Amino acid sequence: MSKTATFDYDGPRWLGQPVGLFYLFFTELWERFSYFGMRGILVLFLVAPVAGGNPGLGWANAEALALYGWYTMLVYLAAIPGGLLADRWLGQKRSVMLGGALLCVGHLLLAFPPAWAFYSGLTLIILGVGALKPNIAPIVGGLYRPGDEQRDVGFTLFYTGINIGALLASLLVGWVGVRFGWHLGFGLAGIGMLAGQAVFIAGQKHLRGIGEAPGRQAVRGEASLLRQVYRQRAPLAVTAAGALLGLWLIGQGQVGYGLLSPFISLAVAVGIVFYRNANRAERDRLLLAFLTFGLIILFWGAFEQAGGLLNLFAQQKTARLLGNFEVPAPWFQSLNPLYIILFGAPVGLFWLWWKRRGRESFSLFKIGVGAIIMGLGFLLMAGASAQFESRGEAAMFWLVLAFLLHTLGELCASPAALAFITKLSPARYASLMMGFYFAATGLGNKLAGVLGELAQHAGELQVFAGIAACSLAAGLLLIAMIRPLKQLAHGAEALPASHFEEQEGFELADTPDEGEEW
């Protein structure tokens, strides 16, 4: 993954912040506008009838949710080669430029009806997000000297832009897509990305010397690591088994899973090498990190129902009339960024107050609390499903309250999980562990799609109740096991974490500098 580059920035400032920050702020705002705008109407476009005033592709719900799961997973997984691309060849700044260009073309292709334009657009968006997302945050970090007290303020402003972009996208793109046409909605998202790219180009003079292409002495640790994988029996056996399973799945017609299998087996093999190369304390911490990756998969598998199953539930089964106005279903997607803007700071202050009172503040405790709150949100959705089954429609307040609980759960669990991974990771593996973080998030998105498909056969009430039960059980079990889990951390909570914590599930914090002590 792309490493943070720290530079001595002596350029002009505005409101105490480097001017370049505000160009990056608006670049990310418009990039998130384009991504969340498209994401908010994607499954609705897929299931819309092929005939009528606003035609779509006419897919079944299960087919749409399957595509949604694959697409959102690949968006995250593409960030891994995107980070390596910047580390080894292009540098962070050029990678962001390339990613922005791919996103502009990809989003604008979706504005056209032909099937080739749709699939080509999705592919370019995946590649564009992969090149842009892991590299723009480290450029922000490069604007500040080590120890600059304005750094955290700068990242807070940066992530405020993310949530403003997501909020505006859900409202504007959602309204245009539902009211005037899906392709016009996709086109509006593309115009947002064009604005972001224009801002980034205009800000180049304020980003000189930051995120430049690496020299010829680029890091070769990944190649050395792969050699270890293929020289040791256990990792080699795991990768071989994954490759054989992949070939069998492809033979059964499961091409997607067949291609995914070798990737997962390689990640497991690399984890085995990490473990074998570690000392005793590092091994215990790695075990905790791998447990946290599992929790990340489960958490995002539940949370990412937002853009898929919950989106369809809002469209097809929720009474959305307010007087004579019908609330567009994509507008419910705006609740998450709105709640983050409203409650992000209060939740952070609560945990600070909680810790200062001497109460339990271990990261896995926060993740457990977040899982419990998430489970309560899905209990509400089970209630919404029960109301639909009895009355033929569900009230809007179920979704409004469920999104509130899901966001509060995210604010507890997501920043804690990311910071915990950065503390547990041995410094020599920090970048690849961030790659694992992205991979776990991507697999969580794929799990979300699988659960959405399951709901089309087993029933939404059963799936919502099952997610609630699993989330509550996982959270309670984590809290009950805090003491032995804490011992495995070997004091990792006292180590420096990344320089900032995320407030939106997709974002990657910058990794510590190579010389920084952990």
Tokens of 307: 């853009």
Which pLDDT value is given to residue 148?
74
Give the range among 37-41, 140-144, 222-226 with minimum mean pLDDT.
222-226
User: Is residue 214 domain-resident?
Assistant: no
Residues near 234 by beta carbon (within 8 Å), at least 6 away in sequence: 269, 272
**Region 28-49 average pLDDT:** 94
pLDDT digits (tens, 9 = 90+) for 375-386: 999 999 999 999
Which pLDDT value is given to residue 438?
86
DSSP annotation of 360 reads -
DSSP annotation of 505 reads T
Is residue 63 within 8 A of residue 46, CB to CB? The reply is: yes
Alpha-carbon torsion, ordered 278, 280, 284, 289, to 10 deg? -20
Same domain, 255 and 114: no
User: Is residue 437 domain-resident?
Assistant: yes
Domain boundary among 257, 277, 297: 277
Is residue 340 within 8 A of residue 407, CB to CB? The reply is: yes
Which pLDDT value is given to residue 134?
85
pLDDT digits (tens, 9 = 90+) for 128-182: 999 998 888 888 888 887 767 777 788 888 888 889 999 999 999 999 999 999 9
Q: Which of 268-272, 346-350, 450-454 has the highest mean pLDDT?
A: 450-454
Tokens of 157: 């402003």
Same domain, 234 and 131: no
Alpha-carbon torsion, ordered 347, 334, 40, 194, to 10 deg? -100
Residue 287 above 50 pLDDT?
A: yes
Same domain, 139 and 248: no
Same domain, 112 and 19: yes
Cα–Cα distances in angstroms (integers) from residue 339 to residues 7, 407, 445, 466, in the given order:
34, 7, 21, 25
Which pLDDT value is given to residue 503?
41
Which pLDDT value is given to residue 196?
94
* pTM, to two decimals: 0.88
CA distance 451 to 316: 18
CA distance 64 to 188: 22
Which pLDDT value is given to residue 504?
46
| Angle of helix 363-391 versus helix 396-424 axis, rounded to 10 | 160
What pLDDT band is residue 404 in, cutting at 50, 70 and 90? very high
| Percentage of the chain exceeding pLDDT 90 | 64
Residue 371 above 90 pLDDT?
A: yes
Domain, as residue range, for 145: 9-209
Cα–Cα distances in angstroms (integers) from residue 13 to residues 16, 22, 27, 187, 346, in the given order:
6, 10, 18, 35, 28
Amino acid 45 reads: F
**Region 363-374 average pLDDT:** 96
Residues near 1 by beta carbon (within 8 Å), at least 6 away in sequence: 79, 80, 83, 84, 87, 134, 431, 432, 434, 435, 438, 508, 511
Same domain, 264 and 290: no
Which pLDDT value is given to residue 448?
96
Cα–Cα distances in angstroms (integers) from residue 482 to residues 12, 365, 387, 422, 485, in the given order:
47, 7, 37, 19, 5
- Per the rule left: phi > 0, alpha: psi between -120 and 50, beta: everything else, 147 is left
Q: What is the mean pLDDT of the chain?
A: 88
Task: Report how many domains make up the chain.
Answer: 3
pLDDT digits (tens, 9 = 90+) for 454-489: 999 999 999 999 999 999 999 999 999 999 999 999
Same domain, 434 and 368: yes
We report the CATH number of the domain holding residue 422 as 1.20.1250.20
User: Count of residues for the chain?
Assistant: 518
Same domain, 333 and 430: yes
